[in-house]
Every structure is written in structure tokens, then in C-alpha cells.
């Protein structure tokens, strides 16, 4: 396409045009090969500021979108973006690229409720507010047919500001899974308050702090119609169905403030490192142990929380599940995606990408995260250590406080060609990472 | 200091050129050349410089007014004691820069919650707040814990510290004011 436009501009200079034609002919075969890997995309020369592994390229699909949270890409390549706060009264954006360069050139909006969750399945678009799950029928081009009159699938879910956003995914049997985050840090009587004891039992777990399961074929459901699928999960923002082994996987944000709440037990360094951010495979009835325990990724043990008699060493949670992956503390895993595409090299197949929003609770130590990580999987189990896949979002090397970061990864989606899309809710940018092999 | 920083490149250019022109003193042409260069540079920098001057004067004026009051309650000690209270109890959420955390913990700079009415600030510090405060148009979801367990002096120190940090400049808060607030509200 660039060569054609060049030809047009230079058509007065016959010699130049002639030489271009010769060049074009000479390059034709090579160009064709390249198109198969990544067709005509407007790849950014500097990877849009990101650092990606060799052979990968980045297209900046859009920017300044507000605060995009989770994203979903249709079989036709259209992109649905859920905004945390509505912009001009619209909280779901539909972006399209009509000329094939990967850059969105059409944007529509609908839905007046801010939120985080969005998911495509069974010819519907599902989107969440902090209290409800809505669904929109799609036409043959995966476009929403009635943007102003969604069905209410689930409503009246607990939302008390803290950890109120709802993330969703679906299995292959007509069920939808939603995170209901605990409206608390560590289930103290008084949230985040020095000296306030832990509630025993933690009554928050009745209606939050877990994953609830609902049907996708029944409207106006609430707690009585669903199942508390898994409990003891403080705040899950990333979740995905692993279709290779038909299991639900989630990423939990671990507790904050071990140092400020227990200065005699934890110094600022251990409080920045602990507890782990955890990825679990959860099955019906599982308990991940919050608030009674946390996972210490250095000791590789479930440690009794200080609110419940812990002293940094005592273990607990004998009946609680262990994580399948434990990451350093406070990195904020905001999205999880199992890669099923064919574009990326073989090692990525069925592996997990995790979008880390980046820490704030490591202060006064330096903040960490602000990147997309990858964990290889084999037969539904981690097949190696986690690694940084895409970095450089923050735009600076040392991050003291989150407002210094230019971009913060928060959503992931896979395109029909196997591209990986990443959303950022600080700069409002949407990235598309492709494998070119170059 | 932050307010002065944008002026630095202009000043940096200005000084060496001016020195050179004084030293070379002999040739009128050289002098003229540098004069023109200086005028051009000055004109180029003028707008930014004037703006900086105005804003830094306002800040200095504010700070001077505030520090007059601060001195009256020995605020240098208040500021250093307040910083200690801040680092142990507040910094992790509100950050070293007072920026807060987008969507979670509100900023402490550029907000009347901090620099405005003392009673409102003391109420939040002593009783906490779990209402999802809206600050400069954004809502913040995390609970602010109550710090009523801190002494009157510690609360006065930290209140004075945040009112005079992160670019803020407001009258300090005394232990007596904290004590009076507690008697008035029964907290």
C-alpha cells in the first residue's frame, strides 16, 4: 500500500517511477511472505515505546480513550473496550480498523455505566457495571444490534467501592463466572486501621471475596440463583477459562500494608515484597484462604495473617489451595489470557499472559510491575518460570509513585489472527502485539 | 523549587552569553552581535520567565504568610515531626509525592480537603472516611482509616506537614486546635 501511494506521488518523475517498479518487482516475493505473518500493519518503529522480545512488533491501535479496562476482540477484528468511567456518557467503545493497517479509524460508544469486565461468547457481548452483568445480542458481523437495551443477566451484586469492579469469563457449558471482590484489605473490623482485629469469621465472604457462577441463559439472576464457586479470594481482576483442560484460572491481588499495620513484624522491604500475587486454578468449592492466610513466595508457604495470630512464620490454611504461580508482591495482575492463537511461536501456545497494572503498595520502596508477563504452560500446568513479555509501559526506569507511569497495562485480548491486544488505563492506549519473525 | 525549574534553561543560556560579551569588550561589532543575541534570547524567554516569576512569587508569598504562622508554633519541628508521622502512617497510600493512587487513594496536593477548613481535615484524620470521596472530579475507593489513636501533637504535626508539603501552603494546625476539635466532637 505504501509503495502504491509512493508511485502516485512520484508519477511525474518517470525515471523514479520506473526504478520503483523494478524495486517493487524485486521485492514482491519477500513482501508477500511478510504479509502472511503480519499483513500491511502500521508497525511502530519504536514499538510504541514498549520493549518486546525479538521478532515481535507493536501497532498503536488507539490512544487517549479514557480509562480502558478489559477488552474483547471479535472474529472480524472489531474491538470492544470497557471504560472504568464513561466518557461523554459512553462506557463501551467499539473500535474498527477499516483499511487494514491495524490502527483504529472508527469509534462508536454506548452504555452509560463505568466498569471493568467485558467478554464475547455465544453471539453475545457481555459487559459489567460494579453491580451487574449485561448482555447485548450480536449480528453476523459481531456488532451489537441494540446498544441501548441490553438484557440484565445478573444484578444486585455487592459493590462497596473497594475492589468493586467485576471481571467475567465463561466456560463451554453455559456458565458465566464473575469476581466479587472483598470490600476490605484484610477483613479487619475497621478496614486498614492500625490495631483493628480481624473479623472471626470473616463475614464479608458471604457475599464477596470469591468467584460466583451464574447461567448465561437466565435473566435477572442474583445471589440466590448463582453459586459461590470459590471463596477466600480477596480481589481477582484477571480470570480466564483454560479451554485446554477446561478449568478456571484466576489472578488475585494480595493484601496490602503489612508494614503500616504490623510495623513490629514487617519492615518496609518485606512489606513491599510480601505477600505474593497469586495465580490459582480454581474448582468448585475451593478456598484460597483470604483473609486468614497469605502466600509467601519466598518461603513457598501459606502464612497465617497477622490479624489472625500470624508472626510472619506460622503457617495456616491447611484446607486452602496452593497457587499455581506466585509472583512478587503488589504487582497487581489485572488481566489473564491463555493464548490459543497460531501467530506466536510454539512456546506461547496455551501459555498464560498476565497484564500487571503495577504496584503502589510497595512505597516507600520503588514500585514494580507495569508490564505484561508470560508463563509457559504444558497440559494445563506451568511449564517454566514466569518472564517479562512486554515492558516499558511506564516510560521511566524507576517508578516512585504510580502517577509517574505513562501507561499501565490492564486488559488483554487475542485477535482472530493471533495478535495480542493490551489496554492501558493511564494513557488510554490500546496496543496490538504481533509476531513478524523479523 | 519546582516552580523555578522551567526557568532554568533560559537562565542557563543567558548567563554565559552575558559573561562572554563583558569579557570581549573590544570590538563594537561583537558587542552589537551579542546585544542582539541577548535581546533575541531575552524576548524568546520572556513569556515563560514572566509566568514563572508570577507563579513563584505567589507561591513564595503564600509560603511566607504560612511560615509566619508556622514560626509562631515552631513549625520547623512540626514539619520534621509531621514527616515522621506521614512516612509511618500515610505515605504508603498517599505516596511520597502526595499524588495518591488513581482510583484508590486521593491526592493530598491541590485539594481543599487538605489546605481548606481545618475541622474538615481533622475529622477525616481522626475519624477516617469510608464514603468514596470525590477529589477534583475523581472518586477514590479505598477506606481512609481513623487515626484517632495518634496524640494531639502527632495529629497537629502531620496536618501541618501535609498542609505545607507537595506544593501546598496553608496555615499550620496546633495541638491546641486538635484538642479543641476533640472536645467539640467528643472524639
Task: Indicate the range of A249-263, A314-328, A413-427, B27-41 predicted with least confidence.
Answer: B27-41
Residue A8 pLDDT more than 90? no
What does each C-alpha distance from A333 to A132, A299, B67, B166 come to in angstroms? Answer: 22, 21, 44, 30
Q: How far apart are CA B59 and CA B56, in angstroms?
A: 5
Element housing B33 (H / E):
helix B28-72
What cell was used for A76?
472480524
CA–CA distance, B86 with B95 (Å, rounded to integer) = 10
Per DSSP, B145 falls in state: P
The nearest CA of chain B is from the CA of A363 a distance in Å of 5
Label residue B20 by pLDDT band (50, 70, 90): very low
The C-alpha of B182 sits at a distance from chain A's nearest C-alpha, in angstroms, of: 19
Bridge partners of A430, per DSSP, are A62, A423
Cα angle: A64, vertex A66, A69; to 5 degrees: 115
DSSP-derived letter for residue B105 is: B
Report the share of chain A in percent with pLDDT over 90.
91
Q: How far A348 CA lies from chain B's nearest CA (Å)?
A: 33
d(CA B22, CA B31): 8
Is the Cβ–Cβ distance between A55 and A435 less than 8 Å? yes
Q: Please state the pTM of the whole predicted model.
A: 0.83
Report d(CA B37, CA B50) in Å as an integer. 19
pLDDT classification of A168: cutoffs 50, 70, 90: very high
User: How many other C-beta atoms can be found within 10 angstroms of the C-beta atom of residue B44?
Assistant: 12
Distance (Å, whole) CA A108 – CA A83: 13
The answer to whether the Cβ–Cβ distance between A403 and B89 falls below 8 Å is: no
The helix (H) or strand (E) run that includes residue A141 is: none
Question: Which among A162, A193, A403 has CB closest to B146?
Answer: A193
Phi-psi region of A379 (alpha: psi -120 to 50; beta: other; left: phi over 0): left
In DSSP terms, which residues pair with A160 in a beta bridge?
none
> Could you tell me which of B133, B109, B111, B102 has the C-alpha nearest to residue A85?
B102
CB-nearest to B145 from A67, A190, A361 is A190
Contact residues on chain B for A263, CB-CB shorter than 8 A? 88
Within 13 Å, how many C-alpha atoms sit on residue B96's CB side? 11
**Mean pLDDT computed over every residue of chain A:** 93
Alpha-carbon gap, residue A134 to A118, rounded angstroms: 9
Mind telling me how many Å the CA of A122 is from chain B's nearest CA? 33
Q: Which residue has the cell 481545618?
A: B118
Closest CA to A146 of A155, A160, A136, A157: A136
Per-residue pLDDT tens for A236-263?
A: 999 999 999 999 999 999 999 999 999 9
What is the ipTM score, two decimals? 0.84
CA distance B108 to chain A (A): 13
Calculate the dihedral angle through the C-alpha atoms of A72, A74, A75, A78, rounding to the nearest 10 degrees: -130
Q: Does the structure show a pLDDT above 50 at A35?
A: no
Section A131-160 average pLDDT = 98
What is the rounded distance in angstroms from the CA atom of residue B122 to the CA atom of residue B113?
A: 10
- Of A204, A93, A221, A111, the C-alpha closest to A159 is A204
A31: which strand partners? none
Subunit contact A161:B141, Cβ cutoff 8 A:
yes
Mean pLDDT in residue range B120-127: 97
Measured CA to CA in angstroms, residue B60 lies from A407, B52, B56 at distances of 34, 12, 6
Query: In this model, does residue A60 exceed pLDDT 60?
Result: yes
Contacts of B95 in chain A (CB under 8 A): 360, 363, 400-403
Residues pairing with A327 in the sheet: A277
Contact A364 B142 (CB under 8 A): no
Of B92, B104, B130, nearest to A257 by CB-CB distance is: B92
* Cβ contact B105–A256 (<8 Å): no
Q: How far apart are CA A124 and CA A320, in angstroms?
A: 35
**Which residues in chain A have Cβ-Cβ distances shorter than 8 Å to B103?**
67, 84
> Using a CB-CB distance cutoff of 8 angstroms, which residues of chain B are in contact with residue A259?
92
pLDDT category of residue B131 using cuts at 50, 70 and 90: confident
How many residue pairs bridge chain A and chain B with CB atoms within 8 Å of each other? 71
What is the per-residue pLDDT for A108? 97
Across the interface, do B92 and A162 touch by the CB < 8 Å criterion? no
Q: Measured between CA atoms, how close is B49 to chain A, in angstroms? A: 26
**Grid coordinates standing for A108?**
462508536
* Diameter over CA atoms, chain B: 80
What pLDDT does A39 receive?
Answer: 58
Contact B102 A403 (CB under 8 A): yes
User: What's the average model confidence in pLDDT over A211-218?
Assistant: 98
**Which residue is associated with the grid cell 472508527?**
A106
* DSSP helix/strand/coil, A367: strand
Q: Pick the residue from chain B with its C-alpha nearest to A267.
A: B88
Q: Which comes out higher in pLDDT, residue A172 or B41?
A: A172
Task: Catalogue the E-assigned strands of A200-292.
Answer: 210-215, 227-231, 236-242, 247-252, 277-282, 286-287
Nearest chain A residue (CA) to B133: A161
Give the pLDDT band of residue A307 (cuts 50, 70, 90): very high
DSSP A375-398: E-EETTEE-S--EEEEB-TTSSS-
pLDDT over 80 (residue A105): yes
**Cβ contact B158:B90 at 8 Å:** yes
CB contact at 8 A, A329 and A370: no
Amino acid at each position: 500500500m505504501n509503495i502504491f501511494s509512493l508511485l502516485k506521488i512520484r508519477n511525474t518523475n518517470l525515471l523514479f517511477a520506473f526504478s520503483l517498479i523494478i524495486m517493487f518487482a524485486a521485492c514482491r516475493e519477500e513482501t508477500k511472505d511478510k504479509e502472511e505473518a503480519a499483513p500491511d500493519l502500521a508497525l511502530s518503529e519504536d514499538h510504541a515505546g514498549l520493549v518486546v522480545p525479538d521478532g515481535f512488533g507493536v501497532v498503536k491501535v488507539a490512544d487517549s480513550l479514557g480509562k480502558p479496562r478489559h477488552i474483547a476482540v471479535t472474529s472480524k477484528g472489531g474491538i470492544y473496550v470497557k471504560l472504568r468511567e464513561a466518557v461523554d456518557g459512553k462506557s463501551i467503545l467499539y473500535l474498527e480498523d477499516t483499511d487494514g493497517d491495524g490502527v483504529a479509524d472508527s469509534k462508536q460508544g454506548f452504555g452509560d455505566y463505568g466498569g471493568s469486565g467485558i467478554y464475547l461468547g455465544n453471539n453475545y457481548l457481555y459487559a459489567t457495571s460494579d453491580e451487574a452483568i449485561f448482555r447485548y445480542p450480536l449480528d453476523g458481523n459481531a456488532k451489537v444490534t441494540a446498544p441501548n437495551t441490553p438484557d440484565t443477566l445478573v444484578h444486585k451484586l455487592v459493590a462497596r467501592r473497594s475492589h468493586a469492579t467485576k471481571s467475567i469469563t465463561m466456560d463451554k457449558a453455559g456458565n458465566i463466572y464473575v469476581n466479587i471482590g472483598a470490600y476490605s484489605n484484610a477483613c479487619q473490623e475497621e478496614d486498614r486501621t492500625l490495631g483493628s482485629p480481624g473479623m472471626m469469621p470473616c463475614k464479608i465472604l458471604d457475599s464477596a471475596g470469591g468467584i460466583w457462577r451464574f447461567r448465561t441463559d437466565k435473566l435477572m439472576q442474583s445471589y440466590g440463583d448463582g453459586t459461590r464457586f470459590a471463596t477466600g479470594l480477596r480481589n481477582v481482576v484477571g480470570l480466564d477459562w483454560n479451554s485446554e483442560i477446561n478449568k478456571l484460572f484466576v489472578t488475585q491481588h494480595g493484601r496490602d500494608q503489612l508494614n503500616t499495620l504490623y510495623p513490629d513484624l514487617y519492615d518496609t522491604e518485606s512489606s513491599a515484597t510480601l505477600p505474593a500475587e497469586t495465580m490459582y486454578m480454581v474448582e468448585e468449592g475451593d478456598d484460597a484462604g483470604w483473609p486468614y492466610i497469605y502466600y509467601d513466595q519466598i518461603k513457598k508457604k501459606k502464612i497465617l495473617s497477622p490479624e489472625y495470630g500470624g508472626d510472619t512464620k506460622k503457617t495456616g490454611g491447611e484446607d486452602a489451595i496452593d497457587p499455581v504461580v506466585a509472583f512478587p508482591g503488589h504487582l497487581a495482575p489485572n488481566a489473564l489470557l491463555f493464548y490459543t492463537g497460531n501467530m506466536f511461536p510454539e512456546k506461547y501456545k496455551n501459555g498464560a499472559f498476565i497484564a500487571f497494572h503495577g504496584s503502589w503498595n510497595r512505597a516507600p520502596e520503588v514500585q514494580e510491575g507495569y508490564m505484561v508477563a508470560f508463563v509457559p504452560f504444558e497440559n494445563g500446568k506451568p511449564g517454566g518460570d514466569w518472564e517479562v513479555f512486554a515492558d516499558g509501559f511506564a516510560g521511566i526506569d524507576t517508578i516512585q509513585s504510580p502517577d509517574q507511569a505513562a501507561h499501565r497495562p490492564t486488559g488483554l485480548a487475542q485477535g482472530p489472527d493471533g495478535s495480542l491486544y493490551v489496554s492501558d488505563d493511564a494513557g488510554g492506549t490500546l496496543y496490538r502485539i504481533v509476531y513478524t519473525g523479523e | 523549587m519546582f516552580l523555578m525549574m522551567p526557568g532554568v534553561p533560559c537562565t542557563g543560556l543567558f548567563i554565559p552569553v552575558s559573561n562572554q560579551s563583558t569579557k570581549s569588550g573590544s570590538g563594537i561589532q561583537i558587542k552589537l552581535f551579542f546585544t542582539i543575541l541577548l535581546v533575541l534570547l531575552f524576548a524568546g524567554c520572556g513569556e515563560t520567565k514572566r509566568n514563572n516569576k508570577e507563579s513563584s512569587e505567589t507561591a513564595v508569598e503564600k509560603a511566607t504568610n504560612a511560615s509566619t504562622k508556622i514560626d509562631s508554633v515552631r513549625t520547623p519541628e512540626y514539619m520534621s515531626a509531621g514527616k515522621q508521622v506521614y512516612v509511618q502512617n500515610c505515605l504508603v497510600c498517599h505516596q511520597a509525592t502526595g499524588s495518591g493512587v488513581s482510583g484508590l487513594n486521593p491526592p493530598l496536593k491541590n485539594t481543599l480537603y487538605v489546605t481548606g477548613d481545618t475541622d474538615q481535615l481533622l475529622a477525616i484524620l481522626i475519624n477516617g472516611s469510608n464514603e468514596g470521596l470525590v477529589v477534583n472530579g475523581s472518586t477514590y475507593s479505598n477506606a481512609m482509616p481513623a487515626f484517632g489513636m495518634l496524640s494531639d501533637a502527632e495529629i497537629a504535626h502531620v496536618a501541618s506537614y501535609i498542609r505545607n508539603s507537595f506544593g501546598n501552603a496553608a496555615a499550620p494546625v496546633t495541638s491546641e486546635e486538635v484538642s479543641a476539635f476533640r472536645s467539640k466532637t467528643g472524639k
